[in-house]
Amino acid sequence: MTGTFGRYGGQYVPEALMPALTELKGAYEQYVLENADGFMDEFHERMRSFGGRPTPLQRADALSDRYDTDVYLKREDLVHGGAHKLTNALGQVLLAKYMGKERIIAETGAGQHGTATAMAAAHLDMPCEIYMGRTDTNRQRPNVFRMRLNDATVTPVDVGRGTLKEAISEAMRDWAQSVETTHYVIGSVVGPHPFPKLVREFQSVISEESRRQIRDRTGSLPTSVVACAGGGSNAMGSFTTFLNDDVALHAVEAGGESLTVDADAGVAPNSATLQTGSEGVLHGARTRVLQDEHGQIMASHSVSAGLDYAGVGPELAHLVDAGRVSAHTVDDETALAGVHRLSQTEGIIPALETAHAVGWLEEATESQLGEQIVLTVSGRGDKDLETVLEESTRRNIPETPDMDVFDPPANGGTDA
Amino acid sequence: MEEPMHNSAITAAFDTGPAFVPYLTAGDPTFEASLEYVQALERGGASVIELGLPFSEPIAEGKTIQNAISRSLEGGMTPVRFFKFLEQLDVTVPLVCMTYYNLIYQYGTHDGPRPFVERAATAGLDGIIVPDLPAEEAGPLHSACQSHGLDLITIVAPTTTTDRLERLVSLCSGYLYVQARLGVTGARSDVSEQTAASLDRLTDIELPVAVGFGISSGEHARTVIESGADGVIVGSALVEIIGEGHRAGDSPDMVAQRLEAKSREITTAITKLQQQP
Ligand SMILES: Cc1ncc(COP(=O)(O)O)c(C=O)c1O
């Protein structure tokens, strides 16, 4: 077996894709690890000029007061496109160019990875097709508009619940057909080897920057680092450079509506893969997955489309098993309240995914928070505005602002 | 090439001339109807039958078989019931299970593929095909199959390189599954040019070679056998008959008759061929 992390990882894909994974592994070693033809130099330069890196590390004064500790925010929401996702997307689209590929495909959940890939493909002049579950196209409309404006084809996926899991399966089917000319830009540290390593390598720039920034600023390392985790690219990116330090690492998953599972209906009303999942094989890797007793993958749920996934990156699953990373869950309501708190007290409207990490600060113990905490703001919340207002109103989240400024709907109804 | 460790009933089924290897998703749309459909395939001249055990994330499947998988899952098919299905089937031809690795891995009370293979052997299964298990990950399943006398059938793709081909052949027994074209399963109206090229490089392999992906008519089947294959695998074209019948509300008997007729179309086309000098 190759590309394993403890019990997890591997390459569980159709034979037809294996030569492409071997080719990708070669390109990863040559261009990414060894900087052949100045690949990494070009990547960093483009992330600077096009992508807006490095991102700031900012002290959050109101949160620091609230929790009586020093809270720093790593502002990945300021990356071009509004999330950490561009760093991986640009890295992979550039790599595809170096590999001589002619076309890009990607899956997307929240639409952030799709948007980032569409931007990177437009920037580097590559044709691009994005697979997105039908449920997600409807709940993340602004990102669909952005992808279309960047000239990407957006293909809705109607199978199953129409979320990220189905979009990945459909992208893999496209790749099985088009593998000779097409690169599949997977959106997180998931999938078969070498994707989990490749994506982690690009995203680890987050913690390279934040580790340097916090030391420059405070002269010390943080007590803890907090990041939300869906597939785990933001978490792995935020943690990697701290792995050998005495720094606590906290990954926050979506607790959704509840941590209990309806096995008969095949539904887990959460996306708490690290907390409640069990070992299985999904989308090319052995990892922790939400599955029923027979091994059928369950439909997951989260108010946040980007965390709504029944699997998780194999390396992150391994780090949790090994005790190096602690996994936590935050439910829909606590996350929604987190959006409002960060918006009202810090002037930053976070993505719903990020809001899970923000919400966790409310639930963490004093010792978990420690003296100094770095929280990665993985994305900004523009894409979520409608969902946040609707869902917060429906659940009577106390911090919800009223929207009386608008005229009432003409029919007096409750149109969204 | 490694010799199979046992006398394979599957390999023997190719001895009597070009083989017709149909695929159906077990339990599509119901347990009972599906039993009837599989029996109809045997009456239509099947040499070996592939039975899909449905998985929720069938990444190698096109729309037709994805829909069959949904129908079967809705009908309550599980790995446990799949083995009961095998035991209730009244057929004599060898049976192959086609499924994804997670279901094999999760079966039974301890990790790994052994409990599944053990149960499969007692249920009368002869071989296993796992589309998401490349040679790199196939070790544990291969050794479990060897200890229980089952064939592990590997898939050769148009993109398979020569060194990979040797490895796939050395793991394989029963028949070698040659994927006729890139992409996912699904009936096509033509035979891929990749097929002949794929077959050309397999001429000195001792195992029977069966070609699948896209074959939908007797005419296709004949072309594939003429290109040098020992058998044809037909899935989506048959599954579509079930899908259409289900949508139209036709009786299982009617659907079974159509399946038998389609099977006969293919067996006739390839059997005639054998009789020609
Ligand atoms: C802003 C933001 N944060 C986090 C995630 C979760 O993905 P990952 O766990 O790979 O970082 C997403 C996914 O779409 C996202 O858009």
CA-based radius of gyration for chain A: 20
pLDDT category of residue B111 using cuts at 50, 70 and 90: confident
The DSSP string of A226-284 is: EEE-SSSHHHHHHHGGGTTSS-EEEEEEEEES-S--BTTTTB-SS--HHHH-EEEEETE
Give the pLDDT confidence score for residue A263 in this predicted structure. Answer: 78
Tell me how far apart the alpha carbons of residues B196 and B6 are, in angstroms, rounded to a whole number: 30
Q: Is the CB of A110 under 6 A from ligand 1?
A: yes
* Over residues B211-216, mean pLDDT: 92
pLDDT category of residue B2 using cuts at 50, 70 and 90: very low
Task: From chain A, pick out residues whose CB is under 8 angstroms from the CB of B79.
Answer: 294-295
Asked whether B237 and B221 are in contact (CB, 8 A), the reply is: no
Q: Phi/psi at B153 (nearest 5 deg)?
A: -100, 120
Give the pLDDT confidence score for residue B5 in this predicted structure. Answer: 52
Give the pLDDT confidence score for residue A163 in this predicted structure. Answer: 87
pLDDT tens-digit readout, B33-59: 999 999 999 999 999 999 999 999 999
Is B78's Cβ below 8 Å from some Cβ in A?
A: yes
Contacts of A408 (CB under 8 A, 6+ apart): none
pLDDT tens-digit readout, A16-56: 999 999 999 999 999 999 999 999 999 999 999 999 999 99
Interface predicted TM-score of the whole assembly (ipTM), two decimals: 0.94
pLDDT tens-digit readout, A244-265: 999 999 999 999 988 888 877 7
Give the pLDDT confidence score for residue B3 in this predicted structure. Answer: 47
Give the pLDDT confidence score for residue A108 in this predicted structure. Answer: 96
**pLDDT(B274) > 80:** no
**pLDDT(B277) > 70:** no
CB contact under 8 A, B161 and A19: yes
Interface of A with B in 138-197 (CB under 8 A): 159-160, 165, 169, 172-173, 176-180
Q: Mind telling me the catalytic residues of B?
A: 50, 61
CA dihedral B70, B72, B76, B82 (to 10 degrees): -130
Tell me how far apart the alpha carbons of residues A295 and B78 are, in angstroms, rounded to a whole number: 9
Residue closest by Cα to atom 12 of ligand 1: A306
* Over residues B145-151, mean pLDDT: 97
B92: helix, strand or coil: coil
Interface of A with B in 222-281 (CB under 8 A): 266, 279-281
Q: Is the CB of A313 under 6 A from ligand 1?
A: no
Residue closest by Cα to atom 13 of ligand 1: A306
Interface of B with A in 198-257 (CB under 8 A): none
pLDDT-wise least confident of A124-128, B60-64, B189-193 = B189-193
In chain B, the residue whose alpha carbon lies closest to the alpha carbon of A15 is B134
Per DSSP, B203 falls in state T
In chain B, the residue whose alpha carbon lies closest to the alpha carbon of A158 is B63
Q: Is the CB of A357 under 6 A from ligand 1?
A: no
**pLDDT(A332) > 70:** yes
pLDDT-wise least confident of A17-21, A96-100, B75-79, B269-273 = B269-273
pLDDT category of residue A310 using cuts at 50, 70 and 90: very high
Give the pLDDT confidence score for residue B4 in this predicted structure. Answer: 46
Is B82's Cβ below 8 Å from some Cβ in A?
A: no
Q: Which carries the bigger pLDDT value, residue A321 or residue A262?
A: A321
Percent of chain B with pLDDT over 90: 83
Residue owning tokens 């907390």: A275
CB contact under 8 A, B179 and A16: yes
Nearest-atom index, ligand 1, CA of A352? 1
Give the pLDDT confidence score for residue A52 in this predicted structure. Answer: 98
